[in-house]
Amino acid sequence: EVQLVESGGGLVQPGGSLRLSCAASGFTFSSSWMHWVRQAPGMGLVWVSRINIDGTTTTYADSVEGRFTISRDNAKSTLYLQMNSLRDEDTAVYYCVIPQSGTAAADPFNYWGQGTLVTVSS
């Protein structure tokens, strides 16, 4: 059974940093692209970032480019999101997600973690 378990969320002040983790199991993590999607309270879904299978290719939404860094440790089957210079508007539930085939850029997301809440507030 595929499992994605996010952790690392919490309350942080504006300008602060936080690192999210996503522990993956039940599939071949090292063969799958991975993504982060976020959802502000009461709002819609927003794609944040993606990383390829060996971590050499990353893509970001404009809103987080230069502040967030996605990375992975295939030996630990874990995905990360380092978030720096956090802003109020980064407050959201952050989901770790897997594309359907694992490798195709246009695949939809058929597995989602339960999400971890990040609250940016003074």
Partner 1 sequence: DIQMTQSPSTLSASVGDTVTITCRASQSISYWLAWYQQKPGKAPKLLIYKASSLESGVPSRFSGSGSGTEFTLTITSLQPDDFATYYCQQSNRYPLTFGGGTKVGIK
Q: Site residues (CB under 8 A) for partner 1?
A: 44-47, 50, 59, 61-62, 95, 100, 105-110, 112-115
Shortest approach of partner 1 to residue 35 CB, angstroms?
8
Q: How far is the CB of 61 from partner 1 (least distance, A)?
A: 5
Q: Report phi then psi at 32, rounded to 5.
A: -120, 130
By beta-carbon proximity to partner 1, the closer residue of 11 and 43 is 43
Choose between 11 and 104: whose C-beta lies nearer to partner 1.
104
**Neighbouring residues of 56: CB distance < 8 A, sequence distance ≥ 6:** none
Closer residue to partner 1 (CB): 68 or 95: 95
Distance between CA atoms of residues 23 and 85, nearest Å: 24
Q: How far is the CB of 99 from partner 1 (least distance, A)?
A: 9
Q: In terms of CB distance, is 66 or 108 closer to partner 1?
A: 108
In the complex, least distance from residue 75 CB atom to partner 1, rounded to whole angstroms: 26
Helix (H) or strand (E) holding 36: strand 34-39
CB distance 65 to 53 below 8 Å: no
40: left (phi over 0), alpha (psi -120 to 50) or beta: beta
